[in-house]
Structure 1
Amino acid sequence: MNTRPLILSLFAFSALLHAETSLKLAPPAIHKAAGGKVTLQSDAADSTILYTLDGTDPIAKSNPYLAVIEIPHGGTLKARTFTKDRKTMSDVAEAVIRPGLSFVVPVPSTVVPVTQDRSWPSYDWQKRHELTSAAVKRTKPQILFIGDSITHFFGGEQFDSYALRGQQTWGEFYAPRNVGNLGFGWDKTENVLWRLQHGAVDGISPKLVVMMIGTNNTGDCAASNIAFGIYSIVDELNKRLPQSKILLLGVFPRGEKPNPARDKIAEINRIIAKLDGRHNVTYLDIGPKFLTPEGLISKEIMPDFLHPNEKGYRIWAEAIEPTVKKLMGE
């Protein structure tokens, strides 16, 4: 009997098994500290750690671990180690974080600061945060826009390949005033909170902050919780930029026709309108200016019924200009 082929097959199987084992990533280590502070660590070279706080297992578009995670109200953290291309991942590491005080009640996701990578790999959220944080330190803007992709695509300094759809209007209204843009695609209220707490506005003191955020939360969050997130951002701005006035815009309408998302947005705006005149806030709802008398959004100003084009951004700029001039003392 010829055993040579069998021996070769065993060697081949052993080599294959060894290769698969060597490629397998170890889950990240989870280190818990007082106050709900959590650090994650992986010894794997050229790897990244992604995590979640909503009970789901991390996937390639989950939250990248960039700094100490703070969960003072407690919750469940899950994390995985991924290769840089995110094609290979480890098993899930999980930890239950106990609240620091026994009487602390759970809070909605809208107020728990986290990173985001929902658009990975087409949109480099981490890189944009690093570049915009450095840019505002360098330029010291007197007016600062904060928001999601609706704000990002307005104009300003170009940091990636995404088209800036209102650049002509931006150049006319804001370039002469030294204005910065901290709009980030796919951001929710909790992502803005994370950015503010991790260097986005360090070293600056703008006269005015123009803020509009919340539409990306409408898919899975209650209106009251979204408003709670916006209130939390206002509190954070008051702590970090105490001399800045805040022009808080009502969340813009979305969808061609009236729909449940618009109803939720209307409820959010009714709640956050109560901030007007408090905490350095001036509230302004310009949403109706994007609608026809029949309540429709036209493709002529918002081709996807969410993001304005140049014509839509001009409507925005002209609508807030009297208030901007007043708050800037012009």
Structure 2
Amino acid sequence: MKTLLLTLCLAALLAPAPAFTQTAAAPPAPAAAPVTPLAPPTLQRDTTGLVTLACATPGVIIRYTLDGSDPNQRSGPYLAPIAFAHGGLVKARAFSQDRKQKSEPAEARFDAQPGVVPPPTTLVPLTQDRDWPTSDWAVRHAAVSALVRERKPELVFIGDSITQMYGGEPHDRSQPGREVWDKFHGKRKAANLGFGYDYIENTLWRIQHGELDGAAARAIVVLIGTNNLGKNKPEEIAAGTRALCDEIHRRQPAATIVLLGILPRGPKPDAMRAKLAEVNALYAKLDGRNHITYLDPGPKLLAPDGTLARDLAGDYLHPTGKGYTLLAEALEPTLRKLLGEPTP
């Protein structure tokens, strides 16, 4: 046993030492490049009441508000001087293109110019981007403006997400009414100028900034105002829609404007429905003004007791394919007449 132990010890002593491998240390990570702060915007108003925003940092997007709130990633982009003769507070921030970096806020308060009475918000055109990241408002504005110039549509639909989700290009969001659109309007020279989350004042801005320019419209369907119900009085909503229709008439004087009543929302009659009915009564008074034809397809969506079925509006606001079918059928006789199409 002693001999065996001695042999093992000698073997261990004579065994070659394991090779030592030196591992080079990883080079230190490069220091992050310093982030250059974005310059806050500047705000100036000229003698005509137009407010101009600018930024010393190139390549940024300026976003602004007129309601006193702090501009964020979903605030309206500054795309043109702001008509602001009535005065008030303008707030602005500069954002990087990816919206991850922002500047310090800037703001300016302007007095109303002599003789100018501050109007309701429905009469103050401005941009928005509340539907981001589902849809980029400025990108869609550029896309539909180009589409109208290229195709010169005879039939145009103007409105908010209810219109946008009906169908038609660009297909930049879910459109449960797309098959219905294709069935009724696929062979027509039609364009969809609906934008998610639009207030009347946002739609007014779009029309004032070229979306209808180049169209050869014979019929223009307007469905707008539901998003204003939560923040404006019925008279203010009607005033904004009247101004919108007047602007449409100025830009497309040969077209008939088919003004639709705001569609019912909510599962059953309530205070919001009552306010909606007040607005629609005011809309009805616009019938005959500047080529306006008023039409209220809302009752087609309701049961006799006033309830709105979920299979017609899944969220009790936006129609389903079945709901859009009922709306299209209600519109069809009027559109055929205006477009000079024979009755089937």
What's the TM-score, normalizing by structure 1?
Answer: 0.90
Residue 273 (structure 1) aligns with: 284
Deviation at 1:42, TM superposition (A): 0.9
Aligned AA for 2:143? L
- Match of 2:294, SS state, is strand
AA in 2 matched with 1:94: E
What does 1:105-116 correspond to in 2, within 5 Å? Answer: 105-116=117-128
Match of 1:39 among 52, 58, 64: 52
Q: Partners in 1 of 2:105 and 2:170 — Cα distance?
A: 37
3-state SS of 2:285 partner: helix
- 1:34 is paired with a residue whose SS is coil
State how 1:1-330 maps to structure 2 within 5 Å.
19=34, 23-100=36-113, 102-160=114-172, 162-330=173-341
Q: CA RMSD in A?
A: 1.7
Instruction: Report the secondary structure of 1:78's partner residue.
Output: strand
Q: Which of 26-35 and 284-293 deviates more?
A: 26-35
Alignment partners' CA distance in 2, 1:39 and 1:278: 34
Q: Which residue does 1:4 correspond to in 2?
A: none
Compared with structure 1, are the counterparts of its residues 55 and 46 closer, same or farther at alpha carbon in structure 2 (3 Å cutoff)? same
What stretches of structure 1 move > 6 A for 4+ residues in a row?
none
| 1:62 shift after superposition | 1.2
CA contact (8 A) 1:47 1:84 kept: yes
Percent identity over paired residues: 49
Per the alignment, in what secondary structure is the counterpart of residue 266 of structure 2?
A: coil
Structure 2's unaligned 5+ residue stretches are 1-30
**Structure 2 Cα separation of the partners of residues 225 and 321 of structure 1:** 30
Q: How far apart are 1:322 and its partner, in Å?
A: 1.3
Letter paired with 2:74:
K
Contact 2:123 2:201 in 1 (8 A): yes
Counterpart CA distance in 2 for 1:268 and 1:152 is 22
Q: What's the CA shift for 1:111? A: 1.1
Moved more, 79-88 or 63-72: 79-88
SS at match of 1:275: coil
Following the alignment from structure 2 to structure 1, what is the Cα–Cα distance between the partners of residues 222 and 112? 31
Q: Give the aligned residue type for 1:305.
A: Y
Cα distance per residue 1:267-295 (max 9 Å; x no partner): 11011110111210000111111111111
Contact 1:154-1:313 at 8 Å conserved across structures: yes
Residue 160 of structure 2 aligns with an amino acid whose one-letter code is D
Question: When the two structures are superposed, what TM-score results if normalisation uses the length of structure 2?
Answer: 0.86
**Aligned-residue offset at 1:92:** 1.9
Q: For residue 94 of structure 2, what is the amino acid of its counterpart?
A: T
